[in-house]
Structure 1
Amino acid sequence: MKVQVNNQEMELSAQSSIQQLSETMELPQAGVAIAVNNKMVPRTQWHQFFLQENDQVVIIKAACGG
């Protein structure tokens, strides 16, 4: 299945959760927020939130500095 991750097409297996996407992308355990189709998904729901074909995913990483 194809989804858009930060405006880049990505191929995932069917029934992929946000947690699986996070692990595939080797995202850090903290300092990351994910929105699907313009709605934030709490980290506590990542394992049960399954992506659908053509979903728009935005990954935001916290950055230090000013």
Structure 2
Amino acid sequence: MITIHLNEQPLNIDENVNISQLLHQENYPQIGIAVAINQHIISKSNWDDQLLQDGDNILIIQATQGG
């Protein structure tokens, strides 16, 4: 197990988890969001390849409608 911070909350996850798996595990949609790891935006095309590391700070930003 490793510990990451997801939207400033500590979370224990298995090793070798990528962004797509984390989003599925935490019930986030795959569209309409942006993901940053340690303040670096990760392109959606890299979500399957980007493995999370112990201590990573993950920020998930979900688009909202309004006006």
Report the TM range for the smaller structure's normalisation.
over 0.9
User: What percentage of aligned pairs have identical amino acids?
Assistant: 30
Gaps of at least 5 residues in structure 2 are none
Distance 2:34 2:49 in 1: 16
Distance 2:20 2:29 in 1: 12
Map of 1:37 onto structure 2: 38
Which structure 1 residue ranges, 4+ long, deviate > 2 Å from structure 2? none
Letter in 2 for 1:64: Q
Letter in 1 for 2:64: A
Structure having the higher helix fraction is 1
Q: Which aligned pairs between 1:1-66 and structure 2 lie closer than 5 A?
A: 1-66=2-67
Gaps of at least 5 residues in structure 1 are none
What TM-score, normalized by structure 2, do the two folds share? 0.94
Encode CA deviations 1:43-65: one digit per residue, 9 max, x unaligned: 11000000000000000000001
Q: RMSD of aligned C-alpha atoms?
A: 0.7
Letter in 2 for 1:51: L
